[in-house]
Amino acid sequence: MSLGYSGGKLFILAFDHRGSFQTKMFGIEGSPDPSQTETIADAKRLIYEGMELAVERGANPAATGVLVDEQFGSKVPERAKSKGLKLAMPVEKSGENEFFFEYGDDFGHHIEKFDPDFSKVLVRYNPEGDAAMNERQLGRLRTLSEWLHERNRKFLFELLVPAEPAQLEAVGGDSDRYDAELRPELMRGAIEAIQNAGVEADIWKIEGVDRKEDAEMLAKQTRVGGRDGVVCVLLGRGASDAKVDHWLGEAASVEGFVGFAIGRSIWWDSLKAFLDGSLSREDASSQVADNYLRFISVYESAE
C-alpha cells in the first residue's frame, strides 16, 4: 500500500474528545462511573445521529467520516461502518501534553478489534519546545507508524503547535499574532522533524492558517521527498464559524488539501442546548447535521 490517501474528499465529524469532554461538558472529574459513562456515550450517539441525518440530507457517504473514541463511542463505530462511512479512531491517551498510547503496548489489539479506516493521534509538538519530550514522542510515534504501515493501515496525524513562552512574548502575548506570524513556519518545521524521524502520516490533520500561501507551504512540506499521495485536512480547534470559514477558504483550493476534520465548532452548542433542556434531541441532532453540511458547502464553494 502506497503512502497517502487516494479516496478523494474527506469531511470528518470529530467527536473523539474524552477528558475535556467529560469535564467541560458534564463537570465529571476523574474516572466516570458506569452511569456517567452511559450519559457521555448517549451524548456521542446524539452527535452521530446528526451525521446520519446529514447523509440523508445529501452528504456523500464516500466522503463522510466520523472520528470517535472507544471509551465513550458506544456502538457508533459499528453503526458508522454499517452505513459505509469512513471511521477514524484515536490511539493517544487523552488529556496529556505528551503523546502516550491509550492502551500501552496493547494498542495494536484495539486497532484490529475495531478495524478503523484511519488510526489517529493528537500530538503537541513545537520544534523549539522541550527537546527531550519531543524525542520521546517521536520514538513512540515511529513505533505506531511502522506498525500501521506494515499492516497496510492508514495513519491520521493531528498536529498542534502550542506557543512556547518566548514565542508568545515575541508577539507581545497576542495569540492571534502567534497564529498568523509564527505558527505556520513552526508547523512546517514540526512536520519536517516528524518526517525526518521516520514517522510517516498518510493524512495530516492540521490547524488552519490565515493565508493561502501558508497553506501551500504546509501542503508542500507534507508531500516532500516523493510523498505525493499524502493529503491534509483542516481541524476546527473549537473556533468561531467565521474563523473556521476563513481557514477553509484559504486552504480549499490548495493542492493536497482534501477536506476537514471539525468537531466542537459543529456540535458543542447544539449538544449543550440539548443537555440544558432548551433543544429537543431531534432538533439538536438536526442542528449538528446542518452545521456539518454548512462547512462542506463553505469548503466546496472555496474550491
Alpha-carbon gap, residue 103 to 258, rounded angstroms: 30
pLDDT at 1: 62
Look at residue 174 in the predicted model and tell me its pLDDT: 96
**pLDDT value at position 237?**
87
pLDDT digits (tens, 9 = 90+) for 277-295: 999 999 999 999 999 999 9
- Residue-level pLDDT at 135: 98
Task: Report the pLDDT value the prediction gives residue 303, as an integer from 0 to 100.
Answer: 87
Q: What is the pLDDT of residue 20?
A: 87
What pLDDT is attached to residue 286?
Answer: 98
For residue range 95-134, what is the model confidence (pLDDT) as tens digits? 899 999 999 999 999 999 999 999 999 999 999 999 999 9
Q: Is CATH 3.20.20.70 what the domain over 10-302 is classified as, yes or no?
A: yes
Q: What does the DSSP 8-state code read for residue 122?
A: E
Name the grid cell of 157.
Answer: 496525524
**Coil, strand or helix: which one is 125?**
coil
Task: Please report the DSSP string for 33-91 in residue order.
Answer: -HHHHHHHHHHHHHHHHHHHHHHHTT--GGGEEEEE-TTT-TTHHHHHHHTT-EEEEE-
Q: What is the residue whose three cell numbers read 431531534?
A: 282
* Alpha helices per DSSP H over the chain: 19-24, 34-56, 76-82, 107-114, 131-150, 165-170, 175-177, 183-196, 212-222, 241-251, 264-275, 281-302
- What is the greatest pairwise CA distance in the chain? 53
CB 64 within 8 A of CB 9: no
Q: Where are the domains of the chain?
A: 10-302
Q: Which residues of the chain fall short of a pLDDT of 70?
A: 1
Which of 197, 149, 211 shows the shortest CA–CA distance to 5? 149
The Cα 277–Cα 93 span in angstroms is 32
